[in-house]
Amino acid sequence: MSTIVVDTAAKHNQHGGVRAGAGRKARIAGPKIVKRIPVSLIPAVEHLMNQLVATPLRPAQHLPADCWKIADNLTRLNIPLATETIPAGFPSPAEPYISDYLDFNQYLIKNQAATIAVRCGGDSMQDAGISRNDLLIIDRSLTPKHRDIVMADLGNEFTIKRLYKLDNSRIELHSENSSQSYPNFSLKEGDTLAIVGVVTYVIKHIR
């Protein structure tokens, strides 16, 4: 076992004053405690702390009430997958055989324990191919990257937006609908954005 400093609830130091700028700079702002952890976990904990310092993004603690949690034990259903791609313009003769079988559970869900499904409630991402009532597959285990489409918790509402990581560590969430005006969200210094997860697939109802 070893010890590592982690954040906890605020406690005030009652022993003397504090000079501005004095002492060793903390890697993560806020009060600290000493907590014992296995030595083998130190690299993982330090990596997590470095990530928290490097980005204002953080995982959301709450989920929408109407999200669907993927079942722990998924059934398997193999659907025939044709060899040829099918053009949308001019028809072509279909191959008379099947090349493979596709299980949509395996295809759509990479991390079962971290995957949820939600329905899109608006049209702000229409130009990105996401329309109202589309079913979105959200992977909460993925680290959000620049230009990922993400589900975000804004504190009083959830939203689906395009994530932009700009210079000087600024974070913005952009709408994509050229036919209507939808707001973008820009995080100011000190703001913390909670990311529910990254949108990996969009499922549309055609008929």
Catalytic residues: 124, 161
Q: Are strands 193-203 and 135-139 parallel, antiparallel or unpaired?
A: antiparallel
Residue that is written with structure tokens 């076992």 in the block: 1
Q: What is the DSSP letter of 95?
A: P
Residue that is written with structure tokens 């976990």 in the block: 41
Q: How many Å apart are CA 151 and CA 196, to the nearest integer?
A: 5
Q: What are the tokens at 163?
A: 């994530």
Cα–Cα nearest to 150, from 78, 200, 100: 200
Residue that is written with structure tokens 């010890």 in the block: 3
Q: How many Å apart are CA 166 and CA 159, to the nearest integer?
A: 20
Q: Are strands 149-153 and 158-165 parallel, antiparallel or unpaired?
A: antiparallel
Q: How many Å apart are CA 121 and CA 116, to the nearest integer?
A: 16
Cα–Cα nearest to 180, from 134, 130, 124: 124
